[in-house]
């Protein structure tokens, strides 16, 4: 069995480095996709919890949107919503109805909307960019 020459080792390292460099954009895109899905799931979970609390306590509850907005910047996802101080997101007691609107989560060239209907239905969909696993197109 013969040993590897320096030239063979350099060729192997060059090929490995080239393949690694080619895979970096794909890895970056996959990370962005996962972080966007995670941000969407956090919003869905939070809004379902607020709705459940309003129904359980049979009273109207205003959802605080600021804490999740601040945390989402950590994941490089920008959030915007149709709600404001004058028109907050509110879930109404026993019926589970809500003030309709949506929250947009934007990261790179993709956008997910978390949509809240007047009947209190909460869902997410991709409104910009290609579809994501588990999230349908709007």
What band does 69 get if pLDDT is binned at 50, 70 and 90?
low
For residues 34 and 28, what is the distance between their CA atoms, to the nearest angstrom?
A: 10
What band does 103 get if pLDDT is binned at 50, 70 and 90?
very high
User: In Å, how far are 41, 44, 91, 106 from 48, measured between CA atoms?
Assistant: 11, 6, 10, 21
**Spatial contact of 36 and 105, defined as CB atoms under 8 Å apart:** yes
The pLDDT value given to residue 70: 47
In the predicted structure, residue 1 carries a pLDDT above the cut 50 = no
What are the tens digits of pLDDT across the range 71-93? 444 456 788 888 988 889 999 98
Averaged pLDDT score across all residues of the chain = 83
- State the pTM of this model: 0.75
């Amino acid at each position: 069995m013969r040993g590897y020459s320096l030239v063979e080792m350099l060729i192997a390292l060059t090929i490995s480095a080239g393949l690694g460099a080619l895979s970096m954009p794909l890895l970056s895109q996959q990370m962005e996709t996962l972080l966007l899905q995670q941000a969407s799931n956090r919003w869905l979970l939070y809004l379902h919890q607020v709705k459940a609390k309003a129904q359980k306590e049979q009273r109207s509850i205003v959802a605080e949107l600021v804490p999740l907005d601040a945390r989402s910047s950590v994941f490089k996802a920008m959030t915007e919503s149709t709600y404001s101080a004058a028109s907050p997101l509110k879930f109404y007691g026993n019926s589970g109805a809500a003030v309709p609107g949506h929250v947009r989560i934007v990261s790179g060239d993709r956008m997910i909307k978390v949509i809240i209907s007047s009947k209190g239905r909460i869902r997410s969909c991709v409104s910009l960019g290609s579809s994501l696993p588990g999230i349908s197109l709007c």
